[in-house]
Amino acid sequence: MRRSPLAALALTILLLVAPGVAQAAVPDRAAAPTTDPVALLNGVRTAGTAWGLDPGTGRMTLTVDDTVTPRDLRALRAVVDRAGALLRREPGTLRPLIAGGQGIYGGGARCSLGANARSGSTYYVITAGHCTAAAATWYTDSAQSTVLGTRTATSYPTNDYGLIRYTGRIAHPSAVYTYPGLLTINGPGTAYIGQAVCRSGSTTGVRCGTVTGLNQTVNYATGVIYGLIRTNICAEPGDSGGPLYVAATGTILGILSGGSGNCTAGGTTYYQPIAEVLAAYGLTLP
């Protein structure tokens, strides 16, 4: 829906990023042994495991589920000891979940899932329109081996949102992925100036800041987008489509359209209000 612009800014769109772009280099397997915990844990490929920094302890942690065999567990203990990391058992079985902020792939590009929504018993992914314009079929992995769903709508430019209908057998909770963990989304909200907010994206994870503008107009090289929320939160290519949310209340405010700057020097980002997307397609948040 076209709105009167309050500001018109020439920016670089946080467009899709090719899956191979800006990724960490693959370590040389013939290189000298390392004790770097990230490098060591990055080599773990055992199904039923996960690893990352535990903010509570400040240490890297390897989590294993109930499917890990005793033989594999012994090998993993050796890796953890070398890395100076922690080993944690997690009941049940690790399985793929697609929540807001996680990566989605299509047409050789990567974006971020904004929100899971539904119309009756049919479930959809909401993400940026400049993302859904790039491909008809979307996947949960960069190898494009696990189907997420098919594009059913794109509104771009003027607006920047699109829909992907779930066709794969992937659990889709009403939640934001918080790298790590899940934050339950209770419903949509409306942004206001000075509001404390966070966003989640598949390139830079969770970043937080404040709302600095409403009803903004952005002039991209590919078209004009109206009625956006502005924040002082940084983002980078591949974060597009990810959710803007309030962690304290579990409300989602918008999905990332684009911005300027980066997460090294700082930046400004713009979001399509979620309420407009829900109204346009007659959707509700689960």
- Sequence-ordered list of residues with C-beta below 8 angstroms from that of 173, at least 6 positions apart, any chain: 97, 99, 116, 182, 184, 286
Token match 């003027």: residue? 158
Cα separation of 50 and 44, whole Å?
Answer: 9
Helices marked H in the chain = 37-42, 70-83, 129-132, 274-281
Q: Among 145, 151, 187, 188, which Cα is nearest to 170's?
A: 145
The whole-angstrom separation of Cα 48 and Cα 45 is: 9
Per-residue tokens: 274: 């979620």
User: Would you say 200 and 177 are in contact if contact means Cβ atoms under 8 Å apart?
Assistant: yes
Q: Would you please indicate which residues are annotated as catalytic (active-site) residues? A: 130, 160, 240
Structure-derived torsion over alpha carbons of residues 253, 255, 258, 259, reported in degrees to the nearest 10 = 30
Closest CA to 64 of 40, 92, 88: 88
Which stretches within 187-246 are classed as H helix?
none
- Tokens standing for residue 133: 């314009």
Structure tokens at 90: 């997690």
Tokens of 194: 């000075």
